[in-house]
Amino acid sequence: MRCDGLFLAGLAHRIPEAVDVDGAVDGGRYDAEDRRADGYASVAVATGEAPPEMAAAAARRALDRSGIPPSDVALLLHASAWFQGVDYWPAASYVHREVLGDDGRRAPALDVQQMCAGAIGALELAASYLAADASRASALVTTADRFADPGFDRWRGDVRGIVYGDGAAAAVLARDGFARLLAVSTVVDTALEGMYRGDEPFASAPGRPVDVRARRAAFAVHARALVGSLGGRTASGLAEAVGRTLDEAGLKIADVSRFAFPNVGLHVLRTRYAEPLGLDVERTTWDWGRRTGHVGAADQLTGLTHLVESGLVGPGDRVLLVGIGAGFAWTCAAVEMIRRPAWGG
């Protein structure tokens, strides 16, 4: 989807205090060999805030930075990958009440479940919603997660090469702003849906600890016969989403200054994302991501916020946000800096 007349007007993140990964290695929670391959320095760990509380804090700051009143927000989308603190309850409605309140009575509050591609997927939905009606002034996208025991082991809950951090991010999409949204698009491959389900039976209620390693191992037993090469399909999805977004934005990959990928470990980032696209890791937000861990669907927005706040991007710079979520979905967004906001570096 090529976007005309849509801009990022505000960005913010809420990242809790980071915990040094060496302590997890010393305590036997994180494998020393994985530590060397991953290159993480620390991961963010929330101790007093639930995900919707962090999302609301990020949203308030992003909205304040945008200068847009709550009454001008036409849509609120909240993305998440994991438990939000209460079962059978819409987290988006909490964020809406905390941030927009009665001023947002005509703004739907919707939860987006696209796993770790959720925030960028929500950005695509928000762009479509604004493009459909010129009277809709702006949209607010939030995302937040907290990966806590006993339900989720941040160090070993997923495959090797990914350690999870906690936090939130928010973005305001509007008719004017500091960065132009050039294009956003999604590619899906639901033949890989079982990779994060494995052979687990459907349960009648939540409560089982997440063990993605076991699920993927179970899926792999039959995967080759069912879907062929897993590596080939995931690489193809990434390349197609990136290529399609760049084409719609009228860009070549050399025209992009920085890339914000999921905050996976260094070896995985280099071999699965950067090198297949012909990129140096230095063009990514890895220096930021190695200090937070993989914060669910927030990595791309926290990375972009860091680039803007630190003055690492300025007018004329393009940034490609690349989201990958179980299911499988790849959503990419291309943005171009127009000016430095007052809160920028």
Q: Please determine, for residue 226, whether its predicted confidence score (pLDDT) is greater than 60.
A: no
Contact 339, 315 (CB under 8 A): yes
Segment 313-336 shows an average pLDDT of 95
- 14 has which bridge partners? 168
Q: Residue 321: which H helix or E strand, with range?
A: strand 318-325
The percentage of residues in the chain with a pLDDT greater than 90, rounded to a whole number, is: 80
Out of 36-45, 131-140, 192-201, least confident range? 192-201
pLDDT tier for residue 33 given thresholds of 50, 70 and 90 = very high
Detail the DSSP E strand segments found in 15-148.
18-20, 42-44, 73-79, 109-112, 138-145
User: How far does CA 213 lie from the centroid of its chain?
Assistant: 21
Q: Please determine, for residue 1, whether its predicted confidence score (pLDDT) is greater than 90.
A: no
Segment 86-103 shows an average pLDDT of 96
What is the overall mean pLDDT for the chain?
A: 93
Detail the DSSP E strand segments found in 67-222.
73-79, 109-112, 138-145, 167-174, 179-188
Amino acid 135: pLDDT:
96
Amino acid 235: pLDDT:
81
Amino acid 203: pLDDT:
84
Amino acid 337: pLDDT:
98
Domain architecture of the chain: domains with CATH: 7-178 (3.40.47.10), 183-337 (3.40.47.10)
Out of 214-218, 328-332, 338-342, least confident range? 214-218
Q: Please determine, for residue 41, whether its predicted confidence score (pLDDT) is greater than 70.
A: yes
The percentage of residues in the chain with a pLDDT greater than 70, rounded to a whole number, is: 97
Contact 78, 109 (CB under 8 A): yes
Q: What is the CA radius of gyration of the chain?
A: 19
Q: Please determine, for residue 77, whether its predicted confidence score (pLDDT) is greater than 80.
A: yes
Q: Please determine, for residue 10, whether its predicted confidence score (pLDDT) is greater than 90.
A: yes
pLDDT tens digits, 293-324: 999 999 999 999 999 999 999 999 999 999 99
CA dihedral 28, 24, 293, 46 (to 10 degrees): 120
Amino acid 195: pLDDT:
80
Whether this model's pTM surpasses 0.85: yes
Amino acid 225: pLDDT:
58
Amino acid 218: pLDDT:
79
